[in-house]
Amino acid sequence: MCGIVGYVGGRPAGPILFDALQRLEYRGYDSAGIAVLDGEGGVFLEKAAGRLSILVKAAGDRVPQGTIGIAHTRWATHGKPTIANAHPHIDCNGDYLVIHNGIVENYRPIKDDLMARGHTFSSDTDTEIIAHLVEESSARGNGLEEAVRESLGAIEGAYSILVMSVSEPDKIVAARVGNAGGIVVGYGEGEMFLASDLPAIVPYTHKVAFLENGDLATIGPQGAQYFDSNGRGLDRQPIIISYGDVTVAKGGYKHFMLKEIMEQSQAVTNTLRGRLSFDPPEISLEEVPFSQRELADFRRVVLVGMGTSLHAAMVGRTMIEELARVPAEVDNASEFRYRNPVIDSSTLVVSLTQSGETVDTLAAMEEAKSKGARIVTISNMENSQATRVADHTIYIRAGMEIGVASTKCLVNSMAALYLLAACMGRARGVLDGSQMATMVDDLARLPALVGAALETGPLCQELALVYFRMNDFLYLGRGINYPMALEGALKLKEISYSHAEGYQAGEMKHGPIALIDQDMPVVAIALKDRLYAKMLNNIEEVKARDGKVIAIATEGDEYLASRADHVVYLPPVPYLLSPILSVVPMQLFAYYIAVRRGCDVDQPRNLAKSVTVE
Ligand code: G6P
């Protein structure tokens, strides 16, 4: 969480920092701050509570023309989202400015020691101690790099920081420790950039280097020097990245989330492009260069992820078990990493992370790697940390997703999982040519089916008008659509702040049924599949208790229309691909409810798109 940017070069830093930061706001928007050295021995420092736009307005045209600066957008961990707690933080003498992403775990004893030595603090953050540690180190005669390096030796945790000094006004020092989000160094002509994520700087340069865990870097207008925690020089060569789709315009939509939902048909096409062949029918994933033998030899698959990506992983488990007949399990990455999982080199770990930066997912991958597992990550972000930890990456090619609530990345992740499951099934001899032909055919029709699912928008909007005042919802699903019941409930919670629970429909009678009445609408995914009859029973159980049922059904199912209060129809779709469709009306329903409730759909309170703290 938290977005950090830095600039040093020949142009005024202020507009560049604001522009870059605006593309990182999905990382947190509790407060924002900027510091620019004015070129005359002074520093302009401005902070604001709330969104970046408030800071930009507060700074107005007072930002000096100085050509070096740092800026930050915060997702609060230690201390409330106030102006005092906004970054950059500064030492007692007003010389060292620090911005930070992550957590300093031992900040409390360090702060007590610093206070005992006469330091005064103006915030409740863990970050501020770094400025004071650097101040003390430099008072011992150390230059900026050495002072930062020495200070980091005292602190524990996973974090990345930028430090700038009024008395050394030609450089910024960056450091990355652990997996709490990376730092990308951008190379321009006579100017250099720093940011926590690529989207911030791609309009300025495609020549970048990434800090590795434990790296420090000093950047000046002419380049960067890298060194390790012992001060030894490191060779980090920049690479040229291709980063096509960084468009952040809403394209006529009121919110990014709606735009991204409506893009899903095209997004799925992008995931499939070049990966299907028709004569003979085959599915190929060039990014997974395991030999057929290796793919066949995995004895187990473990899928990990967080949030919406965890729901994709749950769908992937069913796809892999059904298509490849290999045991598959799913774990929440934050649990997996701490339970000493039993895995070895015969385990394939599949991590799902659209950002490639989620700290718990990265830690789960490291855990699996240390035990000898092979790792494939399914991600949307080129060169993200997950792609560098994994053995292989399957890119989902969804294009930039800005809305904090993930939509098209989920749909694309599920499509990518299907491709992986099919490749494994083929390698293991489970799927024959005729089954491949059917599957390739199904996949080729998938974008059009998603397009049909998007046509439920007007009905979902009407339903939202009926139900937007309700504060509790139950979502029910079975089999491969149970994770989509969880996802439907998650979307509603995230963006409308209504309480919602997703349940296996079979579990309903073991507790949630006690809550059912007219004031708790039930969204039931009841497609015409192998579990249809069971879902009908559950819907009857809800109706018998005066519950309101919104059913997601298969076109032509008139019987369900006679039992449910409302029916949203989807075209017939094969079971294993059905979550890719069933989730669409639930995304739209959540969206329209949130809009009707007046919520900030793209930036829901307390959430962030990349979660880089535990
Ligand atoms: C946050 C986001 C979710 C996302 C989750 C996992 O909670 O708000 O939308 O699903 O992180 O993110 P990842 O980037 O790992 O898929």
Chain-centroid distance of CA 564 in Å reads: 35
User: Is the C-beta atom of 404 inside 6 A of ligand 1?
Assistant: yes
**Ligand 1: centre distance to CA 224 (Å):** 32
Would you place residue 14 in the very low, low, confident or very high pLDDT band (cuts 50, 70, 90)? Answer: very high
pLDDT digits (tens, 9 = 90+) for 140-177: 999 999 999 999 999 998 889 999 999 999 999 999 99
User: Is the C-beta atom of 407 inside 6 A of ligand 1?
Assistant: no
**Ligand 1: centre distance to CA 519 (Å):** 30
User: Is the C-beta atom of 358 inside 6 A of ligand 1?
Assistant: yes
User: Is the C-beta atom of 125 inside 6 A of ligand 1?
Assistant: no
pLDDT digits (tens, 9 = 90+) for 218-270: 999 999 999 999 999 999 999 988 765 455 567 678 899 999 999 999 899 99
Residue 116 sits at φ, ψ, to 5 deg, of: -65, -25
pLDDT digits (tens, 9 = 90+) for 493-503: 999 999 999 99
Q: Whose CA is nearest to atom 10 of ligand 1?
A: 308
HEC per residue, 177-201:
ECCCCCCEEEECCCCEEEECCHHHC
Q: For residues 604 and 405, is the Cβ–Cβ distance under 8 A?
A: yes
Residues 329-350 have a mean pLDDT of 94
User: Is the C-beta atom of 306 inside 6 A of ligand 1?
Assistant: yes
Asked if pLDDT for residue 478 goes beyond 70, the answer is yes
Pocket test for ligand 1, best of 611, 612, 613, 614 (most atoms within 8 A of CB): 611
pLDDT digits (tens, 9 = 90+) for 378-393: 999 988 899 999 999 9
Which is the catalytic residue, given 2, 409, 460, 599? Answer: 2
Pocket test for ligand 1, best of 29, 309, 360, 382 (most atoms within 8 A of CB): 309
Q: Which H/E stretch holds residue 579? A: helix 578-596
pLDDT at 219: 98
pTM, 2 dp:
0.78
Q: Which is higher by pLDDT, 506 or 137?
A: 137
Name the percent of the chain lying above pLDDT 70: 97
The SS3 of residue 42 is coil
Residues 567-574 have a mean pLDDT of 98
Q: For residues 605 and 595, is the Cβ–Cβ distance under 8 A?
A: no
What are 521's two structure tokens?
């609408």
Q: For residues 487 and 228, what is the distance between their CA atoms, to the nearest angstrom?
A: 42
Q: Is 250 a catalytic residue?
A: no
Residues 436-452 have a mean pLDDT of 95
pLDDT at 79: 84
Q: Is 609 a catalytic residue?
A: yes
The SS3 of residue 428 is coil
Pocket test for ligand 1, best of 358, 408, 409 (most atoms within 8 A of CB): 358
**Ligand 1: centre distance to CA 36 (Å):** 32
Asked if pLDDT for residue 293 goes beyond 60, the answer is yes
User: Is the C-beta atom of 361 inside 6 A of ligand 1?
Assistant: yes
Query: What is the pLDDT of the chain when averaged over all its residues?
Result: 93
pLDDT at 379: 96
Residues 6+ apart with CB under 8 A from 549: 521, 522, 524, 539, 542, 543, 563, 564, 565, 566
Residues 191-206 have a mean pLDDT of 92
User: Is the C-beta atom of 410 inside 6 A of ligand 1?
Assistant: no
